[in-house]
Structure 1
Amino acid sequence: MYAEQSSGSVTVEAGLAHHRAGRLPQAEAIYRQILASEPDRADCIFLLGIASLQVGHHDRALDLFIRAVNLQPRNSFYHSSKAAALHGLGRRDEAIASYQEALLHKPDNLDVHIQLASLMGECGDVAGEEAHYRLALQYAPDHVDTRFNLANLLVRRKQFGEAVSEFRQVLRHRPDFAQAHLNLGAVLFELTAFEECERCYREALRLDPTYAEAYCNLGGLLTKLGRLDEAEVNLREACKLNSSFPEALNNLSELLRLRERPEEAEACCREALRLKPDDVQAQVNLGNALREQGHFHEAESCYRAALDHNAAQPKALNNLGALLLDLGRPEEAIRSLRMAVSRRPDYPDAHFNLGVALLLDGQFDEGWREYEWRWRQDSKKPHLRGFRQPLWDGADIGDRVLLLHAEQGLGDTLQFCRFVPAIAAGRRVVVEVQRPLVPLLAGLPGFETIVARGDPLPPFDLHCSLVSLPGVLGTTLETIPQQASYLRADPQRTAAWRQRVGQLDGLRVGLVWAGNHTMSGDRRRSMPLERFSELADLPGVSFVSLQKGSAAGQSPPPGLVLHDWTEYLHDFGETAALVEALDLVISVDTAVAHLAGALGRPVWLLNRFDRCWRWLLNRDDSPWYPTLRQFRQPQPADWSSALKDVRAQLEKSALEHRTRLDR
């Protein structure tokens, strides 16, 4: 490439010696001295251009490379150096043309293929980028860095299977390449090959115990696998190794939110945003943490800030839609969720939330269809039954056996078991429900067998979840079965409870203040017993605890006498008998509210501001339960106002009860 001629006592080789040693001023002086007597020496012009390029003088370098190219138009190196100068000046299209010219004269120029691939990637020409990486590998199949770059490109193109193959080839040549192990693990994560993914992350950490990104990715994987203790250890290690690591803070924030520590999650998000103010994921995560705490309006601002940076971000659109449901704005929610689905048609969470929004708005036809997307949600996959038998679509089943099975919480089973008798009429039906519900639901008519969840199932040919039945049957607001009651407690048990509660004075009112703390949103639907101080010292009312679980041990506030026989409530059959013996049940949104409604007993629902879809909007009754009345929070977390309304109504009911007894 370089001539070794001399000009007097000065030689190009002498200039090159200085150049290679990093003594650029001395090298430039020699090149200029030679050019003073030989102005068309292309090699000296080229080397002077290289020196200018090295010190960042791209304009000067470009002029020199153009002179060299004009003198030797078939020299591939001169064209590629001209391309580098053009690239440095931001003239990318011209740079691409110069690289392509260089390849015309030397098609096997590996460096040019690599540089051209990188430049095309910058310009968004992903196909061109891939083509040049592959051409480079034709000339140098063992070039690890090029193969690694190709593998990463295939990941961006979502060609995960090919990417895995390329990463494996990289690691065959360089098994100690920690980043390749990490990136292979990330692809395997996308392919849900979680066991091998974990091995890759752990191998990356074995090779580099200070690899913060590997700790971050491993923590994210362990979070998805539900191994939250391990996940937190790894994510905190990532943050410790790199205190300026927004991605690790984001992952840690989501983990803390899942662990019901939203205040800590919020702090992580705010630190991530301090480090990277335009971090869309951190804005979304901050919105999630604030929503979990009931700070809905602040959460809305976060989601909208994320969308200001990226108006088509599906996750932000989905989470905003879900939040707008919490705020009771279903029309806006539906618009946002439809946009999320249009941006990402295979997004299960957005489809599911759209279903919830439509159901909340009373649009049951489309709502039930979208609600079925829940089966594709990551959170639902661990609960899939994996039945080989097909789903029932409502068609005639002849002599085949249909399994109707519980899916979600106890309340859902109590709500949707109403459809069982009509379906079982004229069909062979097996019902599977949660064990505590078996004694009560065994009284439903028509089916052949009832089985406790976890016990062996009898043979069956088709299956359907109880929660899917309204959609299968085409249920609308107008066609919800309107029985005053569709469940009945055992009469002997009810008589025994009536004798016991008959010893209490006044109106006998059952209380439930908390649901299952493991359920999503339980922080907002449940309340501590001490909040019932609004009902303390209420004359003419006797309160009876119906509360089970860890919250049952809470002490009532001063002035509230709570009669507690819950130690005898071993199943819902017994609870139903006690409910039948009471005059009224007051409950947060949990299974006992559904139980009382299904029994046709008066029930007052203490409903959080961000109500569940089944309670609909702008009504204090329920089409599902004719005897249910709602007392809603007027603002998030405002139980006090709801309980004041309850107290006022209880005073009236207690007075009416005394009046009836006095007649």
Structure 2
Amino acid sequence: MMQDIRSMDIEAVLEQAFALHQGGRLAEAEPLYLTVLRAAPGDFTAQLLLGILRHQQGRHSEALELLTAALAIHPDSDLALLNHGNVLAALGRGPEALASYDRAIALHPRHADLANARGLLLVSQRHFQEALADLDLAVAIHPDFAEGWNNRGNALQGLGRLEDALASYDRALSLSPRHAQTHNNRAHVLRRLGRLGAALAAADGALALDDANAQALNDRGNILQDLNRHEEAIESYSRALAIRPDYLDAANNRGAAHQGLMRFEKALGDFDRVLALDGGHALAHWSRGIVKLLTGDLEEGFRLYEWRKQLPAPIEQRNYHQPLWTGAEDIAGKTLFCYIEQGLGDTILFFRYALMARAKGARVILAVQDPIVPLMRDAGGDIEILGGAGVPQHFDYHSPLMSLPLAFGTTRDTIPAPVPYLKAQTGRVETWRGRIGSHGFKIGICWQGAASIANRSFPLSLLAPISQMEHVRLISLQKGDGTAQIRSAGVKVEELGDLDSGDAFLDSAAVMESLDLVITLDTSLAHLAGALGRPAWVALKFVPDWRWFLESAQSPWYPTLRLFRQREPGDWDSVFADMQDALRRAHIS
């Protein structure tokens, strides 16, 4: 067929080539397209189909040249415009791809594939709301469009509409049940919903259909990590890396799994593997920083922690005309604007650094999350408190609150602990003291953090032995997620009803002043108790958040806290047995 075909039926050759192409036999279709183009260089169909084939081969620049030539012949071709946009997107030329899709949709407004392609590009650019409009149109035009329903689920995930995303994936699978990527996407959303067993089953379903799917193996590893099955997670990541040795996410995640088993040298080895392939990989730098912080190397850890500003979803990356304060500049008499975009517990923990900046003679203005504004204003210290969106009109320097430890050169030996530095409102303390009473040994309890964060809960039922100790009263400080356990855990717990019904922590702080002890896991309530100088016992997982470091039962941040640590991943039983023993030794019962 490589002979001169000028005298032959070009349509027949194209028909044969297209049949091979559709069957996935690209290497056999390619020479036939080339033969046609030698005989008829301006053949639109051959240029179009060879352009699509080149795109499938990953030869995107050649594909673009062919598709551009095809469009010069038929500028209104929906298929040529669609694939022209797809190739531009593959080349990373997003604005040009979007313009190509827009032109195509203007000519073909009821074209499901075009709406889907435009939506898919917008999802990759994280323009989820605009993407959803396109994908809604795609499935409205073509209700049986499985790919459209799958991509619509991705847009909904990006918007945080997780249940809607799950329904969209389910619709896609009802139309195309053997689509491995949809099963994997479904696993991802189930993980985010905290339904880990179902998530693992969905990931396994994806791999049953495509056992060489490196992304599914990586995502399966993430689910296994959430289940504290770190060895299995490592095996899953390793399989992904055997398929794709340059799969940076899998290498970084395997490092995190090693970290979860306290294999810190192996963790650092995986992070370094990522950085050897991509020296600017922000997540790997940041991950190295977490290990350094956790193991007590605060100087190096806080330096690497600055990479959070360059993560795919940047944290605390703000650009102002005023310079960032690095600690080297004299701020006496200057105005320093600080801000925080992380958890409420971090606001409480690192507020001490705003006080330190004030002690250097700076006027300090701090923007915090709206719910915590009243608590922070009550702290005093001559710090001006704004809501989360607040930005002062005039300031000389700025800094994220969580960059101040780096600016102050904090080491493990120089952690400032000016406890207490928060205070409860006197009137609220008196009110809650009257409601709670003085009888018994009063223990405030919190057993679950945000449901969206893995391993941030323990079963309330584990407190049953403590609740049965003589004189002990368990008083719930739990709000939102987890409160339903009170009805089923078989533990006698006193509920306070309208706790913090207005501003965050004002009531909790006052209640803590009326308690003998607080038992909580790693939540913002632990930080609140510590900053108030109240006695609290904190239940920590095997490898805790870096803020709690390793091994010690004491927190250098909060002298009044005592830390109870799992002896192995998932082992909460020993934590609460140790607490019960400690209560007995303190002659509580």
- Flag whether TM exceeds 0.5 (same fold): yes
User: Structure 1 residues 509, 337: closer, same or farther in 2, change over 3 A?
Assistant: farther
Match among 228, 253, 258 for residue 187 of structure 2: 253
Indicate the residue corresponding to 1:38 in structure 2: none
What is the letter of the counterpart of residue 177 of structure 1? H
User: Structure 1 residues 139, 509: closer, same or farther in 2, change over 3 A?
Assistant: same
Matched-pair contact (CA < 8 Å) for 1:351–1:373: yes
Counterparts of 2:332 and 2:84, CA distance in 1: 57
Counterparts of 2:570 and 2:269, CA distance in 1: 27
TM-score of the aligned structures, taking structure 2 as reference length: 0.83
What is the letter of the counterpart of residue 559 of structure 2? P
Indicate the residue corresponding to 1:295 in structure 2: 229
Indicate yes or no: 2:449 matched with 1:516.
yes
Matched-pair contact (CA < 8 Å) for 1:431–1:447: no
Counterparts of 2:468 and 2:100, CA distance in 1: 74
Tell me whether 358-367 or 573-582 shows the greater mean CA deviation.
573-582
User: Structure 1 residues 274, 489: closer, same or farther in 2, change over 3 A?
Assistant: same
Matched-pair contact (CA < 8 Å) for 2:156–2:165: yes
Indicate the residue corresponding to 1:470 in structure 2: 405
Indicate the residue corresponding to 2:518 in structure 1: 585
Indicate the residue corresponding to 2:561 in structure 1: 628
Matched-pair contact (CA < 8 Å) for 1:600–1:627: yes
What is the letter of the counterpart of residue 542 of structure 1? V
Indicate the residue corresponding to 2:216 in structure 1: 282
Indicate the residue corresponding to 2:366 in structure 1: 431
Counterparts of 2:49 and 2:74, CA distance in 1: 15
The structural deviation recorded for 1:212 is 0.8
User: Structure 1 residues 553, 81: closer, same or farther in 2, change over 3 A?
Assistant: closer
Superposed CA offset, 1:37-95 (max 9, x none): xxxxxxxxxxxxxxxxxxxxxxxxx5xx65xx5xx9x87989x969979x99x996997
Counterparts of 1:329 and 1:196, CA distance in 2: 43
User: Structure 1 residues 118, 238: closer, same or farther in 2, change over 3 A?
Assistant: closer
Indicate the residue corresponding to 1:202 in structure 2: 136
Matched-pair contact (CA < 8 Å) for 1:529–1:556: no
What is the letter of the counterpart of residue 545 of structure 1? I
The structural deviation recorded for 1:503 is 4.1
What is the letter of the counterpart of residue 111 of structure 2? F
Match among 258, 263, 273 for residue 324 of structure 1: 258
User: Structure 1 residues 519, 353: closer, same or farther in 2, change over 3 A?
Assistant: farther
Indicate yes or no: 2:148 matched with 1:218.
no
Indicate yes or no: 2:479 matched with 1:549.
yes
Tell me whether 392-401 or 645-654 shows the greater mean CA deviation.
392-401
Matched-pair contact (CA < 8 Å) for 1:513–1:527: no
Matched-pair contact (CA < 8 Å) for 1:609–1:637: yes
Q: For 2:338, what is the secondary structure of its paired residue?
A: strand
Superposed CA offset, 1:334-380 (max 9, x none): 33234345545665544443432332233333432443444455666
User: Structure 1 residues 402, 518: closer, same or farther in 2, change over 3 A?
Assistant: farther
The structural deviation recorded for 1:238 is 0.9
Indicate the residue corresponding to 1:309 in structure 2: 243
Matched-pair contact (CA < 8 Å) for 2:340–2:402: yes
Indicate the residue corresponding to 2:466 in structure 1: 535
Counterparts of 2:34 and 2:321, CA distance in 1: 57
Match among 570, 573, 579 for residue 646 of structure 1: 579
What is the letter of the counterpart of residue 514 of structure 1? W
User: Structure 1 residues 179, 414: closer, same or farther in 2, change over 3 A?
Assistant: same
Indicate the residue corresponding to 1:450 in structure 2: 385
Counterparts of 1:643 and 1:191, CA distance in 2: 46
Unaligned segments of structure 1, at least 5 residues: 1-61, 659-663
Matched-pair contact (CA < 8 Å) for 2:461–2:491: no
Superposed CA offset, 1:507-562 (max 9, x none): x45332324334522xx2322322112324435x6345251314457549999765
Matched-pair contact (CA < 8 Å) for 1:542–1:561: no
Counterparts of 1:123 and 1:288, CA distance in 2: 30
User: Structure 1 residues 421, 408: closer, same or farther in 2, change over 3 A?
Assistant: same
The structural deviation recorded for 1:403 is 3.0
Q: For 1:629, what is the secondary structure of its paired residue?
A: strand
Superposed CA offset, 1:114-157 (max 9, x none): 56545655665433333333334444444543443333222222
Counterparts of 1:386 and 1:549, CA distance in 2: 36
Q: Higher RCO, 1 or 2 (CA under 8 Å, sep at least 6)? A: 2
Superposition pairs for residues 383-462 of structure 1, below 5 Å?
Answer: 391-394=324-327, 395-397=329-331, 399-425=333-359, 426-434=361-369, 437=372, 441-442=376-377, 444=379, 446-451=381-386, 459-461=393-395, 462=397
The structural deviation recorded for 1:391 is 4.7
Counterparts of 1:503 and 1:556, CA distance in 2: 25
Counterparts of 1:494 and 1:598, CA distance in 2: 16
Q: For 2:113, what is the secondary structure of its paired residue?
A: helix
Matched-pair contact (CA < 8 Å) for 2:344–2:524: yes
TM-score of the aligned structures, taking structure 1 as reference length: 0.75
Indicate the residue corresponding to 1:263 in structure 2: 197
Q: For 1:185, what is the secondary structure of its paired residue?
A: helix
The structural deviation recorded for 1:215 is 0.8
What is the letter of the counterpart of residue 323 of structure 1? A
Query: Identity percentage over the alignment?
Result: 31
What is the letter of the counterpart of residue 371 of structure 1? Y
User: Structure 1 residues 94, 213: closer, same or farther in 2, change over 3 A?
Assistant: closer
User: Structure 1 residues 263, 147: closer, same or farther in 2, change over 3 A?
Assistant: same
The structural deviation recorded for 1:434 is 4.8
What is the letter of the counterpart of residue 355 of structure 1? G
User: Structure 1 residues 119, 654: closer, same or farther in 2, change over 3 A?
Assistant: same
User: Structure 1 residues 109, 632: closer, same or farther in 2, change over 3 A?
Assistant: same
Counterparts of 1:191 and 1:384, CA distance in 2: 18
The structural deviation recorded for 1:257 is 1.7
User: Structure 1 residues 553, 389: closer, same or farther in 2, change over 3 A?
Assistant: farther
The structural deviation recorded for 1:416 is 0.8
The structural deviation recorded for 1:450 is 3.3
What is the letter of the counterpart of residue 320 of structure 1? R
Give the number of aligned pairs.
578
The structural deviation recorded for 1:435 is 6.0
Match among 235, 247, 269 for residue 335 of structure 1: 269
Counterparts of 2:275 and 2:442, CA distance in 1: 46
User: Structure 1 residues 485, 329: closer, same or farther in 2, change over 3 A?
Assistant: farther
Indicate the residue corresponding to 2:94 in structure 1: 160
What is the letter of the counterpart of residue 420 of structure 1? A
Matched-pair contact (CA < 8 Å) for 1:400–1:460: no
The structural deviation recorded for 1:400 is 4.5
The structural deviation recorded for 1:423 is 0.4
User: Structure 1 residues 121, 218: closer, same or farther in 2, change over 3 A?
Assistant: closer
Counterparts of 2:39 and 2:499, CA distance in 1: 91
Counterparts of 2:490 and 2:453, CA distance in 1: 32
Match among 173, 177, 194 for residue 243 of structure 1: 177
Indicate the residue corresponding to 1:192 in structure 2: 126
User: Is the radius of gyration larger for structure 1 or structure 2?
Assistant: 1
CA RMSD after TM alignment? 4.1
User: Structure 1 residues 77, 392: closer, same or farther in 2, change over 3 A?
Assistant: farther
